[in-house]
Structure 1
Amino acid sequence: MVSPTSAPSRTSFDLKSASLPVVAVMLKTTDAAVFAADLAERVAEAPGFFDNDPVLIDLAAVREAPEPVDFAALVAALRSHSTLPVAVRGGSPAQMDAARAAGLAAAPDAPAARAEAPAPTPAAAAREVVREVEVVREVHVEVPVAGPGTVVIDKPLRSGQQVYARGADLVVLAVVSFGAEVIADGNIHVYAPLRGRAIAGARGNTEARIFSTCLEPQLVSIAGIYRTTETALADEVAGKPAQVRLEGEKLLIEPLRNPVRINPRETQ
């Protein structure tokens, strides 16, 4: 009788499926020079935003563009800001072929978006916002959630200082001076005057919010949609307790109703 032969064992590695977070860059122009300039400006507002993150280039918005996409220039621009371009999706057959020739993998197209309720009537012109290069963090849940933790700052932030709460909410218990910058992947709470720049949902969390007991910001931004002091705040929120949130692609600034009052350690 012949004994059955056992299959050779392989113990040096295992093969398993994996899901990894990736930054999706929604390309809106085929002009690589314009893209590079806009990306540099966006990153300048939030230094340290990227940390060798893998990047997916989404071509859906330029799929019908007659001009070719210079993938070599796009990849060079992205790599210059500490990202690792790895794949493309949503392009025409010619665009996808060119991307593969540039060493990028082809990723499945994004699933169709669910129907949403009609957007509310736009508010006053003062609420108009501008979307720069759209950079969103893809997640595997429908509703973005706050990061696993909270960073607490209890000292005043002077002009030129920056705090970034990666993967977390940020709580500041002292004044954020003009020229200072607070950034969080989740929400930002400032229990003191907010006079500098506040960037919440830095990696695409559209559910993130900004709260302050005294809103006097130089700039506020949520998931890439921002507003500067070039547009004056309404009297009902200027220098008062207020919150900043997104509604569709509109940045809304609203008074806080019955805010909790604390005695922050403020330095003028």
Structure 2
Amino acid sequence: MNAKMDTNDACDLRFGQVGIACVRVRRVDAAALCDELERRVRAAPQMFARAAVVLDLSHLLDLPDDGAVDALLEAVRSAGMLPVGLAYGTSETEALAKRMGLPLIAKFRAAYEPAAGGPAADAPTPRAEPAAPQPEPILSAPAPGSMQGAQHHVGSVRSGQQIYARDRDLIVTGAVANGAEVIADGNIHIYGGLRGRAMAGAQGDAKARIFVSDFRAELVAIAGQYRVFEQIPDDLEGQSVQCWLEGEKLLIAKL
């Protein structure tokens, strides 16, 4: 039964699409974690300073004790980021999250779920595409078979605005401003300047691609692999480009 709407309620509660980074811990070393994250924040403060992050412990052979996890969380805070939860894992992870007073974020389960009955497995390596594909028209990359028809956004995406195309490609016929985000579970096509962030394959599709008519991005990402730009390389700035994954490396080339 739906709760009746009361205009005197103290707040509205809704679930929505939010951008959360994932910090995958490879060893229990709070000092090393802090140093690495501080380096990332210094390299791209607009992207990572005070960024909301989920701590992923699934790649550790043994789940750390509460004190060690608390030290890791403090390392994240010291680096200038804000831990908001733990990545979904085992029942032990769930119990740990309850003890630490943190939520479990299920979004990250599919990419990093441990193998059944054994220690955490490495994330599967996506199948590499050809190293030097021939340039192709912007509309030539088909969406995966499970995708719906593309979502269209007509006009510019303003700073602070986020557009998310769930289970489909996203086509933007305008510019994406600094501080704006466009996200799609499939491919992204931008018929204009990209000055903000574009994230394709948001649910882990490593075959997704990003196509941009005028490349000046803050960040591009595919299936969680990203590149941040403090300064665009001269050969890419203002060019029509495509972005794709080769293994775990995100590549960018002129069309």
Over 3 Å counting, the alpha-carbon distance change for 1:101 and 1:226 in structure 2 is closer
Over 3 Å counting, the alpha-carbon distance change for 1:182 and 1:86 in structure 2 is same
Q: Tell me the amino acid that sits aligned with residue 87 of structure 1.
A: T
What's the offset of the Cα at 1:72? Answer: 8.0
Q: Could you tell me which residue of structure 1 aligns to residue 187 of structure 2?
A: 187
Q: Could you tell me which residue of structure 1 aligns to residue 90 of structure 2?
A: 87
Q: Could you tell me which residue of structure 2 aligns to residue 265 of structure 1?
A: none
Q: Could you tell me which residue of structure 2 aligns to residue 63 of structure 1?
A: 61
Q: Could you tell me which residue of structure 1 aligns to residue 156 of structure 2?
A: 156
Gaps (5+ residues) in structure 1? 1-23, 89-95, 121-143, 257-268
Q: Whose Rg is larger?
A: 1
What's the offset of the Cα at 1:173? Answer: 0.7
Whose RCO is larger (CA < 8 A, sep 6+)?
1
Q: Could you tell me which residue of structure 1 aligns to residue 176 of structure 2?
A: 176
Q: Secondary structure of 2:239's match?
A: coil
* CA distance in 2 between partners of 1:106 and 1:248 (Å): 20
Q: Could you tell me which residue of structure 2 aligns to residue 252 of structure 1?
A: 251
* CA distance in 1 between partners of 2:95 and 2:165 (Å): 38
Over 3 Å counting, the alpha-carbon distance change for 1:112 and 1:217 in structure 2 is closer
Q: Tell me the amino acid that sits aligned with residue 63 of structure 1.
A: L
Q: Could you tell me which residue of structure 2 aligns to residue 240 of structure 1?
A: 239
User: Which deviates more from structure 2 when the two are superposed, residues 106-115 or residues 216-225?
Assistant: 106-115
User: Which structure's residues are more often helix, by fraction?
Assistant: 2
Over 3 Å counting, the alpha-carbon distance change for 1:146 and 1:72 in structure 2 is farther
User: Which deviates more from structure 2 when the two are superposed, residues 147-156 or residues 181-190?
Assistant: 147-156
Write the mapping of 1:48-127 to structure 2, written as runs, cut at 5 A.
Answer: 58-59=58-59, 62-63=60-61, 70=68, 81=84, 85-87=88-90, 99=93, 102=96, 108=116, 109=118, 110=121
Over 3 Å counting, the alpha-carbon distance change for 1:245 and 1:146 in structure 2 is farther
- What is the aligned length? 191
Q: Tell me the amino acid that sits aligned with residue 173 of structure 1.
A: T
What's the offset of the Cα at 1:171? Answer: 0.7
Q: Is the 8 A contact 2:29 2:72 kept in 1?
A: no
Q: Is the 8 A contact 1:186 1:202 kept in 2?
A: yes
* CA distance in 1 between partners of 2:126 and 2:86 (Å): 32
Q: Could you tell me which residue of structure 2 aligns to residue 209 of structure 1?
A: 209
RMSD of aligned C-alpha atoms?
5.0
Question: TM-score when scaled to structure 1?
Answer: 0.52
* CA distance in 2 between partners of 1:114 and 1:45 (Å): 26
What's the offset of the Cα at 1:25? Answer: 7.9
* CA distance in 1 between partners of 2:126 and 2:167 (Å): 29
* CA distance in 2 between partners of 1:229 and 1:106 (Å): 32
Q: Secondary structure of 2:198's match?
A: strand
